[in-house]
Structure 1
């Protein structure tokens, strides 16, 4: 049987390029094919393994800060602050932050000033995770394409072998028929 070439010539045969000119993703795909090992991996787990303490903290802060629970809790604190300073302590003349709520505005500005960069860090980390996932998707797709091309090569080789065997058998049948026709005309 005509065997398709060995897996070490995959870059040249299937990609039309020398192994030294491959991108890192393409190199990983070719290496995994040559080693006959899967290329799939859990991107979430991979990203989590790469994450630092600060990355995970930013993700948690962004998850809390971007939730309805946070919004309703914060709204409750704001309304409570206003009721306390205007309604309860204001009537007693003991309000520590009366109506324009200057101290409350300062606190809100500080929360926003701290929360915004943390949320941006989390978004940057998510973007990095998305790029990692896209790169991995490319590798998996490339691997699938190359494997399909290799299967086509194998099927083509089997077809050629089958056709050669049929041609050989047809030649033998023709020879037998020719010999039978010669022997029958001689009788």
Structure 2
């Protein structure tokens, strides 16, 4: 604490509880998820049946039968509806973010595929001008055959000169 800076003299009389919007949103999602389960429906049905059966007996506590039950169910619905809407909005926001990411990934994948298609086309064009393995083999076979023919021709000519040397000329 520094002495040359004034203190904040305003202090709230009552501190407001700080609630993280994300924490409240997570609570709303859990609540909405629970309300959509069969367990919730079974518990709510059991509660309503017990309430109705108890209030049909002579020792019931509700002076006006089922008015308090209607009030409680209305109160529960009035809190449930906004919480469910909040959970749906959060889900829509997540879906929107995921869709944007999917669009970006798809655009990048398409750009990559187009680039690769161009590269493959350029490689095919370049390979049209490059000697392939089959082409080199055929050329080497032709050269080998030509060398064999020359050697056979040279052997035939060499055999004739040897024969001429052995025969005496008179």
Within the candidate set 20, 27, 38, 1:57 is matched to: 27
> 2:43 aligns to what?
73
Aligned ranges 1:1-187 → 2 under 5 Å: 52-87=22-57, 91-92=58-59, 95-98=60-63, 100-166=65-131
TM-score using structure 2 length: 0.61
Question: Distance in 1 between the 2:68 and 2:91 partners?
Answer: 34
Deviation, structure 1 residue 54 = 1.1
Question: Distance in 2 between the 1:100 and 1:130 partners?
Answer: 46
Decide whether the 8 Å contact of 2:25 with 2:87 is kept in 1.
Answer: yes
State the Cα RMSD in Å.
2.5
Decide whether the 8 Å contact of 2:55 with 2:65 is kept in 1.
Answer: no
Question: Distance in 2 between the 1:131 and 1:63 partners?
Answer: 20
Q: Compare relative contact order (CA 8 Å, sep 6+) and give the higher one, 1 or 2.
A: 1
The DSSP-based 3-state class of the residue aligned with 2:65 is coil
Question: Distance in 2 between the 1:146 and 1:73 partners?
Answer: 54
The DSSP-based 3-state class of the residue aligned with 2:68 is helix
Decide whether the 8 Å contact of 1:55 with 1:122 is kept in 2.
Answer: yes
Query: For each residue in 1:12-43, what CA deviation from the matched residue of structure 2 results, as whole angstroms up to 9, or x when unmatched?
Result: xxxxxxxxxxxxxxxxxxxxxxxxxxxxxxxx
Gaps of 5+ in 1: 1-50, 174-187
Decide whether the 8 Å contact of 1:58 with 1:121 is kept in 2.
Answer: yes
Question: Distance in 2 between the 1:156 and 1:131 partners?
Answer: 37
Deviation, structure 1 residue 155 = 0.8
Decide whether the 8 Å contact of 1:62 with 1:122 is kept in 2.
Answer: yes
Larger radius of gyration: 2
Question: Distance in 2 between the 1:65 and 1:132 partners?
Answer: 26
